[in-house]
Amino acid sequence: MKKTILSLLIACCTLVTTLAQTKITLNTDLAKTQISKHIYGHFAEHLGRCIYGGIYVGEGNTKIPNTAGVRNDVIQALKELKVPNLRWPGGCFADAYQWKDGIGPKANRPKMVNVWWGGVTEDNSFGTHDFLDLCERIGAEPYLAGNVGSGTVKDLSDWVSYVNHPGGSPMAEARKQNGRATPWNVKLWGVGNEAWGCGGNMTAEYYSNIYRQYATFMSDSKDAVLYKIASGASDGDYAWTETLMKNIPHKMMQAVALHHYSVLGWTVDKGPSVDFNEAQYFKIMEEAWQMDEFIKGHSTIMDKYDPQKKIDLIVDEWGGWYSVEPGTNPGFLYQQNTMRDAMIAGLTLNIFNNHADRVRGANLAQIVNVLQSVILTNEEKMLLTPTYHVMKMYNVHQDALLVPISIESPSYNFQGKELTAVSASASKDASGALNISLTNIDYSKPHEVTINLRGEDFSKMSGKILSSAKINDHNTFEQPNKVSVKDFSGAKLEKGVLKLTIPAYSVIVLNVKK
């Protein structure tokens, strides 16, 4: 009998201690820094089926409902996502794109070969008007990436005039002749893309001078003061950022870009998007967590030259990158999207939010049918990915005030390595409500979370959760809702303390009100 009781006690103690303990403190009355909505931006490149077939199906298409050739289901989904800005036309494609080939009567537009992505020929039927009109329909600010690699200063200057000048200039008159009387007033401009690579294989010193030249001839207009973004570093190339911050006059530059992908390695075989193992999963999570390290490193250099933080850091390419789906064009970068991608999204957005004093924009790569997409399409079918659901859950943070946070989380351990398992960020919206986002990247363990709310009293609470039975779970055109958001009622609030359990590989967003 004694042995039985002892066994029961040991079993109970083991059960109590199986849940890893995460402790979070939120100083709700100290929220001051605004989380820019532009952190939740997206990216649409002329790559694979992102534009043609994904966004644009042609004005004569009677099979797929569309508005001016743009899929109605995509328009509605992006409206609901509250996309703050959309970057176009690339990417590597941007520095090969001749924007004047994409305006005027579609039947007269010259064709081009997309040398970067699959060598396909496209007809330029989706151009400046189509993209900027799409942005208006979904309520997003356009972010145009200028051609610095193969274009000229005049080409980019003319593009600025075409979309922004109210009238009287040759480019503004050409716009009017092409059916658009009023300017779009585009403010966000990338001065080239990946100048260290596909944008020209330049040195940082050379690009700094090129940037100064191009930026000089990009003119503001009455209703569009330009926000110019310099082509920034990849990953931990801190020397690139230092050279730009040192050599480009700050009055000519509003932001510096940064690119970082969560990828197993830059080989042909980047690992499967669905049938991955824990070793591959852990490595991708390791890469995702590196975003925090890179932001801190680049911010430290920027602080050296810009202590008042007037120059923003824009992470305008990020996300997971795997091998393409079997049987698809290797140059189209089409991959599935699982709960692993939801982990990348939740973790990365928490990192961005918590660095909102310097990170004021970002663009997930890419929006439809390419890399870590929020939408996948197949002819008339469309589905929303786990990443879409995380981005939608997190959009409560857009333009809200960042709540200072301290967190103690146990590790997710694998083969002698460890990563912080639970990440979190919090904000206070205009109504005074508190929104808390939590992501547990642990491959197998749920975590018990205790959140101390200091500074204000709260009494009401609701929540949403994205979770699934397996880490490899994903949505298909046959099962488009296998992974979906559900209401979460497992959190308890008592005397300023929130307690909940977050399952393994899950995302939770809580809304707490006074």
What does the pLDDT look like over 281-319, one tens digit per residue?
Answer: 999 999 999 999 999 999 999 999 999 999 999 999 999
pLDDT value of residue 14: 43
| Closest by CA position to 472, among listed 371, 314, 337, 295 | 337
Digit-coded pLDDT (tens) for 345-372? 999 999 999 999 999 999 999 999 999 9
Q: Over 80: is that where the pLDDT of 16 sits? A: no
Question: Which of 347, 338, 318 lies closest to 385, judged by CA?
Answer: 338
Locate the DSSP E strands across 158-254.
188-191, 227-234
pLDDT for the residue 441: 98
Taking 90 as the threshold, does the pLDDT of residue 459 lie above it?
A: no
**CA–CA separation, 15 and 157 (whole Å):** 66
The whole-number pLDDT of residue 229 equals 98
pLDDT confidence band for 19 (50 / 70 / 90): confident
Which pLDDT score is estimated for 268?
85
The answer to whether 369 touches 57, Cβ cutoff 8 Å, is: no
Crossing angle for the helix pair 238-247 and 204-216, to the nearest 10 degrees = 40
List pLDDT tens digits, range 143-155: 999 999 999 999 9
Q: Active site includes 418?
A: no
The answer on pLDDT for 24 being more than 60 is yes
Confidence band for 20, pLDDT divided at 50, 70 and 90: confident
- pLDDT (tens digit per residue) in 223-233: 999 999 999 99
pLDDT of amino acid 17: 47
Helix 72-81 to helix 386-394 angle (10° resolution) is 40
pLDDT value at position 514?
A: 87
Whether 446 shows a pLDDT value over 80: the answer reads: yes
Is 408 a known active-site residue?
Answer: no
The percentage of the chain sitting over the pLDDT mark of 90, rounded to a whole number, equals 92
Q: Active-site residue among 45, 141, 287, 317?
A: 317
Q: What is the DSSP letter of 324?
A: P
Give Cβ neighbours of residue 7 (< 8 Å, ≥ 6 apart): none
Domains, the chain, ordered by start: 18-31+404-513 (2.60.40.1180), 37-399 (3.20.20.80)
Given 45, 141, 194, 287, the catalytic residue: 194
Q: Is the pLDDT of residue 253 over 80?
A: yes
Question: Which pLDDT does position 78 carry in this prediction?
Answer: 98
Confidence grade of residue 18 (pLDDT, cut at 50, 70, 90): low
At residue 411, does pLDDT exceed 90?
A: yes
